[in-house]
Chains A and B, each alone.
Chain A
């Protein structure tokens, strides 16, 4: 009969703590209101520190009971515990100091301020336990968060291999990563919302405050699944409405695992899951189009200089340092203007010189661009005689030579190029004849026609 009293008392800790906080704060305020050398407020201050100390002790005891009966680890509460007792002791000491003096004792303000700091810090530690350590930081704007050195490290999502996924351990390699990404932040040993720990198979089997969350072979009867598929507005929906929601495919994977028997030994291939459901999680090692090595970003100054000269100059994406340069608004660009590009030589990955005044001589400059990947020389005076120098642009993938004077022999000079994928030579002397020679790269010469059909002219 009596055993419920202690855990109940423990659960009153979050309310009880406010008593010493309020009473001590009142006492501290009185200390700061009283004048030096007088005995004004002295009785009230004495009483405040005595009562504050008593309630601090009661709070500390209730806190210790809460730790004993609820799912907290010693690591989480230890500092809160120590500082709680320190607050109680400090209150009694201040009471003793005030009690023995007839007027305001020396340095009382300083000591009271110290007690205030101690109390504040204890309270903060307690808040961290209840609400999580990110509680206050979470609501700050991101810039401020990084200013105080706090970076949110998102849990990595589920990643599956496209080949051999059937052999994956269903729980360890599929279900647990999904739980880690979507549930762990509130259901872990330190933060046991609903007394549920979802960080391991065994802990999950133990269930939460409403008992087991798994009914093997029946997902609809398992809270682990059924609460995921409740309408978002429903109070019982998990994860809470404002939190990140798992993909519908992830929920489907959890359903299939429970229906399969919710065992630790099951393999992913044993379920009726198809590749369609797994599609979003396949890790595609997509080879990036632009070179993979890192370069320093072009300086803001050099970029604005280029823009002022009339170039289109922009990074290929916000996070990339590769530059895309186009002369679409700088059609008078000629060989002499080359030096204007000097400052960003290493960053240029895409260069469009279509319609400019450049001649064959430009190629000797172009081959100094180590990372050039796309080069467009359409509608220029390029003859193709010295095209072989482009072999030095080891990263070149797409070469555009439409409407120039290039012929087959100039293209042949590039046949040993290691990376070249596509060469466009539409409307050139080369395109006039059928090219029978096969290259490692695709040579596009165009000249497509759509033959006239009788139906072209029949009006119904």
Chain B
């Protein structure tokens, strides 16, 4: 404790030395002016921290921004696992069965579909490309699933399909941002940030919003897809790695023992405490809390991120191989994380951009390989959540950022050597399962070529509204004051998709 006292004395000494007569006078002038202006201009208050600035009743939230809060309504789901297939999988080879399209395989695309349209790469009049997979109906719900996903076809009765989702973005970056933040431009908080901001997190020794990536690359839109936008940065996603240290810079450096770390943190916090006693700024308390949480995480994060101790039959179920970075490992980790009370687990799997420019990007080969990588793990995830009863209050969402064209891509007007499809946002398939979702439902109709939705279309905003509803929010009421106006995840749009609610 003597050392701590010394530190505090040092701090006080330094402060006093800095306080010259000039500083004092300048402070007096500027602060008096500030005092007069503050009530006129609402200070720098964004309106959201009015509770904090009162300084008198500090809520649990002010001290710990991740402290849990009750949802406005009783939600059906407590946690979310969002599986995002970055690059956009082809709905025409997975879920949207179009026998008519097969009949017109290799025929020129009708002009009526192309009129006034812009595509990312298609130029002129492309040929139609028939489905490259065999489709069959599965389960009691009779959902169409292709032979690209043989395992998933066994669990279709757990999920609700949205077959006519549309987006207005046709490039990966903006479309991913739109799907994850509700806006194709940078600066908005991601879905996971909104949810952790609104509900906090159950387990105080783990981050509330965890991001896991696979497929060799992170999403095209960069880390903004799990960013916190204008929300406090504590609500951004924490990227955990499935190889090496799960969270970078969390472990103690060599030669630093846990006891030493404990002493270090308690010394820092004592100094911070005295700062708080002097200034009463709740940010200081939040900082004290963050140090303590990081200290607790050092134990729990490596524990929950370790899949080695899972029994063999679980590894067999998921097809996991410990020590590698894979979608399978991430699925198993996602289950472990929600089991431990993490609010939002976001998975990104890269490599779905099947333009047909090379072998890996071909519809008949590369896409099949990608499907094999996710088929067993995502089916296993649903079954594993189900057998543990976690599917009761965990929402699982699957989808890309848009869909793909029914036409063969003809980049630069040339015939390509591989089968491929261009970006297309008019109609694509997503699915949801778990907390509050109607099992075996299918919503959305597309035309004979799978080009456009012809009924029961849903927008990205509708999906966000539905997800927030399941978590216990009214998406129109859930706002954050920023730059003088309240912001919503769904902006001024979004309607509940009631047909897929249980």
Contacts and interface: CB of A to CB of B under 8 A. Distances in A.
Interface stretch (B216-224, B252-260, B263-271, B379-387): B379-387
Given A312-B68, A317-B70, A460 B368 contact: yes
B388 A328 contact: no
Contacts of A304: 60
B472 A317 contact: yes
Interface in B318-364: 319, 340-341, 364
Interface string A430-460: 0000000000000011111110010110111
A201 interface: no
A447 B60 contact: no
A316 B384 contact: no
A64 to B, nearest CB: 46
Given A456-B376, A460-B364, A422 B389 contact: yes
Contact of A312 (B71, B202, B365, B389): B202
A329 B387 contact: no
B289 interface: no
- Interface residue tally of chain B, by bracket? 35 or more
Contact of A402 (B72, B205, B388): B388
B392 A317 contact: no
B215 interface: no
B150 A319 contact: no
Given A279-B498, A422-B392, A329 B386 contact: no
Interface string B390-432: 0010000000000000000000000000000000000000000
A170 interface: no
- Interface residue tally of chain A, by bracket? 35 or more
Given A289-B74, A290-B74, A456-B376, A450 B317 contact: yes
Contacts of A328: 202-203, 340-341
A426 interface: yes
B341 A312 contact: yes
A361 B416 CA distance: 71
Identify which of A378, A402, A450 gathers the most chain B CB atoms within 10 Å of its CB. Answer: A450
Contacts of B75: 317
A444 B389 CA distance: 8
B488 interface: no
A197 interface: no
B387 A450 contact: no
B230 interface: no
Contact of A314 (B70, B316, B380, B387): B70
Contacts of B386: 444, 446, 448
A320 B70 CA distance: 9
A448 B203 contact: no
B389 A453 contact: no
A453 B316 contact: no
Contact of A450 (B204, B368, B379, B389): B379
Given A329-B205, A426-B387, A317 B150 contact: no
A446 B68 CA distance: 31
A402 B389 contact: yes
A314 B59 CA distance: 14
Contact of A316 (B60, B70, B316, B376): B70
A13 interface: no
B387 A459 contact: no
Contacts of A316: 70, 74
B316 A456 contact: no
Given A448-B317, A450-B379, A459 B388 contact: no
A315 B70 contact: yes
A148 to B, nearest CB: 22
A288 B75 CA distance: 11
B69 A314 contact: yes
B376 A329 contact: no
Given A317-B75, A329-B205, A447 B154 contact: no
Given A449-B313, A460-B368, A288 B74 contact: yes
A422 B202 CA distance: 23
B383 A450 contact: yes
B374 to A, nearest CB: 12
Given A314-B70, A450-B376, A424 B364 contact: no
Contacts of B472: 317
A329 B388 contact: no
Contacts of B392: 398, 422
B31 interface: no
Contact of A448 (B73, B369, B384): B384
B68 A448 contact: no
A450 B154 contact: yes
A318 interface: yes
Given A316-B74, A317-B70, A424 B389 contact: yes
Interface of B: 60, 68-75, 147, 150-151, 154, 202-205, 313, 316-317, 319, 340-341, 364-366, 368-369, 372, 376, 379-380, 383-384, 386-389, 392, 472, 498
Interface of A: 279-280, 288-290, 304, 307, 312, 314-320, 326, 328-329, 378, 398, 400, 402, 422, 424, 426, 444-450, 453, 455-456, 458-460
23 contacts: A279-B498, A288-B74, A312-B203, A314-B69, A317-B72, A317-B472, A328-B203, A328-B341, A329-B203, A378-B388, A398-B392, A402-B387, A426-B389, A445-B387, A446-B386, A446-B387, A450-B151, A450-B154, A455-B150, A455-B372, A459-B372, A460-B364, A460-B368
